[in-house]
């Protein structure tokens, strides 16, 4: 995704990682000040929804933690490698049609959410692999710590995708077992190999065609669209309203909440509200517009009852649907009896 190391260091990364790290290791104000030393991160900025920082700041913070707590610190900071921090990347990976598609999605967009690493998809005669390498300069201890955090996140995703087959996957680290490796191994259900040629997550090729238990073609497509929008930001934000509309439509008859829409596009609710406002829009009117257009199409077709149309649009009953139609079209909802 990023051409040079200097590009990667300047790339914005979500402040959620830094926030989780400071909360895990900054028990006192003096601890927090020490962790943030030299990073350029302001403590008060971490609590601002949707905040971002350059990768260089996050790398300095992680280096400070590694010096104080050693390279196994990710074992004490589960929030940092939680799948919930991955936003649209987690959604896109989980909802991919197959395990092979999930791996390809992670390899393609992993750097979108974590620009401090690079990912490469490799296929051998017997396996599908994601090779992960640092996108910026890190000393050995820091890279070991970052790789551990990344590996725990990868494991958290695939232990659910592969289910009973997770034991057939392998995490490979290109260094000897660290002191305290027994603590490390307790966190993995897959095989773990040290002194490997590279940092790799490997899945047997035979499992590639296995369907994802969370496969959802529409949601996968929308999450990919959201990742592409993050990867290639447009100078105008009008495209965001269209993305939100498509996410709303894809979720029907369930109603997509504003908070979930923000998560799917990889931002906070407050930032989503602000970005939509910049285009003269808002979430509620977008939801109303999607429902109105769906209702118009169904009414014109005349093949469904009022109860069926109400259910298709997520209304609790036909009366609520009829009230909406009077507001939209100035008439009672039709439909067959």
* Alpha carbons within 13 A on the beta-carbon side of 255: 14
Strands 170-172 and 191-193: parallel
Q: What is the pLDDT of residues 57-109, one digit of tens each?
A: 999 999 999 999 999 999 999 988 888 888 899 999 999 999 999 999 999 99
Angle, to 10 degrees, between the axis of helix 16-25 and the axis of helix 55-69?
20
Question: Is residue 2 very low, low, confident or very high in pLDDT (cuts 50, 70, 90)?
Answer: very low
The SS3 of residue 40 is coil
**What stretch of H or E contains 117?**
strand 117-123
Q: What is the predicted pLDDT for the residue at 66?
A: 96
Q: What is the pLDDT of residues 10-41, one digit of tens each?
A: 888 888 899 999 999 999 999 999 999 999 89
Instruction: Check whether 207 has a pLDDT greater than 50.
Output: yes
| Helix intervals (H) in the chain | 5-10, 16-25, 29-36, 55-69, 88-94, 99-113, 140-161, 181-185, 217-231, 238-251, 258-264, 269-278, 283-301, 306-312, 318-329
Q: What is the predicted pLDDT for the residue at 1?
A: 44
Question: Is residue 335 very low, low, confident or very high in pLDDT (cuts 50, 70, 90)?
Answer: low
Q: Tell me the mean pLDDT in the region 152-157.
A: 96
Q: What is the pLDDT of residues 271-307, one digit of tens each?
A: 889 888 887 889 999 999 999 999 999 999 889 999 9
Q: What is the pLDDT of residues 217-263, one digit of tens each?
A: 999 999 999 898 877 755 444 578 888 888 898 888 999 999 988 88
User: What's the CA gap between 169 and 157, in Å, rounded?
Assistant: 12
- Residues 157 and 83: beta-carbon distance below 8 Å: yes
Q: What is the pTM of this model?
A: 0.69
| Token digits of residue 19 | 């926030």
């Amino acid at each position: 995704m990023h051409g040079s190391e200097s590009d990667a260091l300047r790339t914005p990364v979500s402040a959620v990682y830094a926030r989780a790290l400071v909360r895990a290791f900054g028990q006192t104000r003096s601890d927090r000040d020490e962790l943030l030393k030299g990073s350029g991160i302001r403590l008060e900025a971490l609590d601002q929804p949707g905040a971002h920082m350059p990768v260089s700041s996050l790398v300095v913070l992680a280096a400070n933690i590694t010096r104080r707590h050693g390279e196994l610190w990710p074992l004490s900071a589960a929030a940092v490698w939680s799948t919930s921090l991955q936003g649209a990347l987690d959604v896109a990976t989980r909802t991919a049609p197959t395990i092979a598609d999930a791996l390809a999605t992670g390899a393609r967009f992993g750097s979108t959410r974590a620009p401090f690493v690079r990912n490469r998809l490799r296929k051998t005669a017997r396996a599908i692999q994601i090779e992960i390498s640092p996108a910026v300069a890190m000393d050995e201890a820091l890279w070991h710590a970052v790789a551990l955090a990344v590996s725990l996140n990868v494991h958290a995703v695939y232990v659910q995708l592969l289910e009973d087959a997770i034991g057939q996957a392998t995490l490979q680290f290109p260094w000897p077992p660290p002191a305290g490796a027994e603590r490390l191994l307790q966190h993995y259900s897959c095989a773990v190999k040290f002194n490997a040629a590279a940092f790799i997550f490997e899945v047997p090729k035979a499992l590639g065609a296995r369907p994802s238990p969370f496969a959802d073609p529409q949601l996968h497509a929308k999450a990919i669209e959201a990742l592409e929008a993050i990867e290639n930001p447009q100078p105008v934000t009008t495209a965001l309203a269209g993305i939100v509309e498509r996410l709303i439509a894809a979720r029907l008859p369930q109603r997509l909440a504003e908070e979930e829409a923000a998560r799917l596009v990889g931002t906070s609710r407050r930032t989503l509200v602000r970005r939509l406002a910049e285009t003269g829009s808002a979430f509620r009117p977008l939801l109303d517009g999607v429902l109105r257009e769906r209702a118009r199409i169904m009414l014109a077709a005349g093949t469904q009852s009022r109860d069926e149309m109400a259910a298709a649009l997520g209304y609790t009953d036909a009366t609520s649907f009829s009230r909406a139609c009077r507001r939209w079209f100035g008439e009672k909802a039709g439909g067959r009896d």
